[in-house]
Amino acid sequence: AQSVAQPEDQVNVAEGNPLTVKCTYSVSGNPYLFWYVQYPNRGLQFLLKYITGDNLVKGSYGFEAEFNKSQTSFHLKKPSALVSDSALYFCAVRDANFGNEKLTFGTGTRLTIIP
């Protein structure tokens, strides 16, 4: 079975400060990991993914995420937060060792950047 946890429902960060949105996962085999962002009244938008290769993945809008196999984590980071980064962020995982096409999404973390 595959699962993903986002331990924080809400994260508040001052504008200009670094931000981190946490994600941990559980799979039997190797993970494929994704981050999506949802702005109000919109569908989800892809930010970045880890399939294989470098543990540090760079994505859209200056975001990056670090894959840590020993800690089974894939935290989303940005060095300097913008007010426009305020949104709902979802982590998702798929177990690469199983043939299903299903992604499992986390429950989401609401990020608020305070001016």
Partner 1 sequence: NAGVTQTPKFRVLKTGQSMTLLCAQDMNHEYMYWYRQDPGMGLRLIHYSVGEGTTAKGEVPDGYNVSRLKKQNFLLGLESAAPSQTSVYFCASSYGLAGVSEQYFGPGTRLTVT
Q: Nearer Cβ to partner 1, position 17 or 45?
A: 45
Percent of the chain that is helix, strand, coil (3-state, to 5): 5, 50, 45
Binding residues for partner 1 restricted to 83-102, rule: CB under 8 A:
90, 94, 96, 100-102
Instruction: Return the range that interacts with partner 1 (CB under 8 A); candidates 14-22, 64-72, 74-82, 103-111.
Output: 103-111
CB of 21 to partner 1, least distance (A): 14
For residues 21 and 44, give the distance between their C-alpha atoms in angstroms, rounded to a whole number. Answer: 16
Told to check if 58 binds partner 1 by CB under 8 A, we report no
- For the record, the structure tokens of 109 come out as 């973390």
Told to check if 106 binds partner 1 by CB under 8 A, we report yes
The torsion of the CA quartet 3, 107, 10, 72, rounded to 10 degrees, works out to 10
